[in-house]
Chains A and B, each alone.
Chain A
Amino acid sequence: MIKEIIFYTFSSVLICSSLAVILFRNPVYSAVSLILSFITSGFLWLLLDAEFLAIVLILVYVGAVMVLFLFVIMMLNINNEKEKSSFNSLAPFALFVGLVIAAELITLIWINSSQFNLNSEAIQKPDQVSNTLLLGTELFTNYILSFEVAGFILLLAIIISISLTLRTRKNVKTQVATDQINTEPSSRIKLVDLKERK
């Protein structure tokens, strides 16, 4: 009974905060609502026995990705004043598309529920090992190649995002360390023989 109460409370919070993400005009408010929906879905994943992924969702998404979003929003300095117009012209179409998608998916889920065994309770196994241990064992044995590829994807992301945003300004007076190191004494000091004055 307590699980049902938690599920319905948190899922209504999740739906309201996701609606707030798309309805706020100020992108900072949208980002904060998205943080709320990530935390709420983290709690709902805890309900589904996915403890490690719930913590990873909160740490990585709220701690890193959303901070990056907020940083970019505040760095770009977008003016919000002229956003009032042309917001509602696509709204009926968008609402139509969204409602059709939701109706199709929910019909699909509820119409064949008994055939695909969707409406039964979960099989409760006696759980000796923790979720993190289970996930780690599986990840480092059967999925080790995928794990390496994921690490490589992260490395690629670092390289690409740095090379996209890095810019070297012209006409800025800075030290060039390589030139300083590679210089030789002959280019800096010139020894001149002075004639002795009589």
Chain B
Amino acid sequence: MLTLQSYLSLAAIIFAIGIIGIVINRKNIIIVMMCTELLLISVNFNFIAFSYFNQDIAGQIFVFFILTVAAAEAAIGLAILVALYRNKKSIDVQELKTLRN
């Protein structure tokens, strides 16, 4: 029997995988951004599951806007990344400590 619990548990597992990916990665900002996409996908999963099980379309509207903002965020993030690579010749997470001290 497919209940709301199974969908929410799946989204929780995907969310935890995204968090692990952000913490574990020390070399590449692009993979950190991909893990952010994973987190967004899991949150969208929750919205769509609630929307289906409560028969309310507002959840899907919200997912629509989340997708829009996430696409804009990915575009701006990659533009920042390209500008960063131009200045520092590296996208290493460890070397980005210009603001330290």
Contacts and interface: CB of A to CB of B under 8 A. Distances in A.
Interface in A134-176: 134-135, 138-139, 143, 146, 150, 153-154, 156-158, 160-162, 164-165, 167
Q: Does more than half of chain A's interface fall in helix, strand or loop, or is it mixed?
A: helix
A162 B83 CA distance: 11
Nearest to A137: B57
B13 A15 contact: yes
Interface string A91-103: 1011101110110
B96 interface: no
A72 B82 contact: yes
B23 A31 contact: no
Interface residues of B, number: 70
Nearest to A10: B10
B82 A68 contact: no
A165 B79 contact: yes
A22 B32 CA distance: 9
**What is the size category of the interface that chain A forms with chain B?**
35 or more
A44 B33 CA distance: 23
Contacts of A122: 4, 52-53, 55
A32 to B, nearest CB: 11
B51 A4 contact: no
Nearest to B4: A118
Contacts of A61: 37, 67, 71
B85 to A, nearest CB: 5
A98 B19 contact: yes
B34 A109 contact: no
A38 interface: yes
Contact of B12 (A30, A31, A69, A102): A102
B34 A102 contact: no
Contacts of B101: none
Interface in B50-77: 51-55, 57-58, 60-61, 63-65, 67-76
